[in-house]
Structure 1
Amino acid sequence: MNTFHGKTALVTGASRGIGRAIARRLARDGARVAVHYGRNEQAAKETVAAIETAGGHAFALRAQLGTPGDAERLWAAFDAHADGLDILVNNAGILNEEPGIEHVTREQFERIFAVNATAPFFITKLALPRLRDGGRIVNISTMLTRGSAMPPSISYAMSKGALDVLTSTLAKQLAPRAITVNTVAPGVIDTDMHEGRLVGDALAWLSSLSPMGRVGTPEDVADVVAFLASDDSRWVTGHWLDTSGGTLL
């Protein structure tokens, strides 16, 4: 497929999980993909290798998010490989282990906001001079920001809520440039973020939350992102798209 032929995409946190699936799907449809990673260089190389083996084009770039100068380092690395951008996917994120608000430390809270909210804000800010008119921004949020409150994930959901606001505000600001900005909000996805948890009774319970009777896969999310990154979604902007397999029904 040549949906994205001639286009360049950047996917943050693309060395594994949902980000890897998004990078592979965009590359499969013709995009040249910048595979961002924070620490795991080998995993990023594996993502690039998988894309190239399938006939696509990709390059890896490193920037540890949540640290001073993270966005600047990311774009400096990007500029060494490309001269413009068409698709930005803010996917990178972290979870906290927190039974509830009473167990959240200030350090944990500030760290999760630094990675999940501050980093994509400034990555997006610095992307705008590089993003071509008619471009696409897709932010990966969570179903937990709307109608599915879970006390053990309070700081995570709050940080993603900030990303939801970024979507709606930028959608209005960037519309004159025909740039769309949308949010994809997954439910439970079978990635290494949940390693060791999606087994036995826990897996059965989490699967039962969706009327589909299963947890999601990274590809379930990647296919939705590909639609929002394509010209088919040109009349969709500022939208929060539930990709939880009906968990919020």
Structure 2
Amino acid sequence: MTDLTGKVAVVTGSARGIGKAVALRYASLGARVVVNYFGDDQVAGSTVAECRAAGGEAIAVKADVSKVEDIERLYRSTREQFGRIDIVVANAGFEIVDQPVLEATEEQFDRIFAVNTKGAFFTLQKGAKYVADGGRLILIGSSSTASPVPGTGLYSSSKMAARQLVRVLAAEMIERSVTVNTILPAPTDGAGVFTDLAQDAPEHEFFARIRFGQRLGRPDDVADAAEYFAGDLASYVSGQSLLLSGGAIV
């Protein structure tokens, strides 16, 4: 079992969905967790309470990852509260799907790239600066960067830049023994555009035909991978992308 006792983990966009699952998992393994969020204070507070109930210390820090000054404040607040940073999970982002490239607008482009590209870049860049030697940097990417999917031109291209950044940053962090890796979740029930997916939605039937367990992915599947990358078993793994698709070809 992974032991994160004494480790400090910053998880962006972790009030709900995949980020919440990762934060809860780390807390259950003994980590002190910083729940970053941008929206609802009450939802973030509830996640903090769940992290504490799971066995870890936790605080919430409101910060917009599309603003570098907010990212700096997020890390500053973490160090002021806990004294160090050991794990950073760059998860914050949002999706625009079923959007043909020919219909994409400049406003949509600016919005999604501000969070998914700029936000991820500076979360990882500043995280690399402040993380302790031997630490972990983890990007939550998207399976849509693994193969072209119609309707995801804006989304997948906004995610691809950070995926390449992980490979470069991994090489640059070797001397400090900091690993840098990416998790590529396929469509996940309870996250992103599938956050409120009804149990009788046709997506369930479709994915049941092509996935292990005949189901959509779940946030805990991503938390499993995030646990691995954060733990000792992954200490010699860096610059890698782990596709979580349940065996589906994407």
Q: Matched residue of 1:10: which SS?
A: strand
Matching residue of 1:52: 52
Query: Cα offset for 1:203?
Result: 2.0
Give percent identity, aligned residues only: 36
Query: Cα offset for 1:208?
Result: 2.3
1:11 is matched by which residue type in structure 2? V
Answer yes or no: is the 8 Å Cα contact 2:139–2:181 preserved in 1. yes
Matching residue of 1:4: 4
Q: Which moved more, 1:33-42 or 1:200-209?
A: 200-209
Q: Matched residue of 1:132: which SS?
A: coil
The 5 A counterparts of 1:76-225 are 76-147=76-147, 149-193=148-192, 194-197=194-197, 199-225=200-226
Answer yes or no: is the 8 Å Cα contact 2:11–2:19 preserved in 1. yes
Query: Cα offset for 1:97?
Result: 4.5
- Count residues with an aligned counterpart: 248
Q: Matched residue of 1:133: which SS?
A: coil
Specify every segment of 5 or more residues in structure 2 that has no aligned partner in the other structure, as ranges.
Answer: none
Q: Structure 1 residues 78 and 210, CA, compared in 2 at 3 Å: closer, same or farther?
A: same
Q: Structure 1 residues 191 and 83, CA, compared in 2 at 3 Å: closer, same or farther?
A: same
Answer yes or no: is the 8 Å Cα contact 1:33–1:57 preserved in 2. yes
Q: Structure 1 residues 2 and 203, CA, compared in 2 at 3 Å: closer, same or farther?
A: closer
Question: TM-score with structure 1 length normalisation?
Answer: 0.93
Alpha-carbon distance in 1 for matches of 2:68, 2:229: 30
Specify every segment of 5 or more residues in structure 1 that has no aligned partner in the other structure, as ranges.
Answer: none
Q: Which moved more, 1:12-21 or 1:61-70?
A: 61-70
For residues 17-62 of structure 1, the C-alpha deviation after alignment (integer angstroms, 9 at most, x for no partner) is 1000000101111110111001121111111101112222111101
Query: Cα offset for 1:159?
Result: 1.1
Q: Structure 1 residues 165 and 150, CA, compared in 2 at 3 Å: closer, same or farther?
A: same
1:85 is matched by which residue type in structure 2? I
Matching residue of 1:20: 20
Matching residue of 2:43: 43
Query: Cα offset for 1:65?
Result: 2.5
Q: Structure 1 residues 50 and 238, CA, compared in 2 at 3 Å: closer, same or farther?
A: same
Q: Structure 1 residues 169 and 44, CA, compared in 2 at 3 Å: closer, same or farther?
A: same
Alpha-carbon distance in 2 for matches of 1:2, 1:247: 28
Regions of 4+ moved over 4 Å: none
For residues 56-88 of structure 1, the C-alpha deviation after alignment (integer angstroms, 9 at most, x for no partner) is 211110102324633223223323312211000
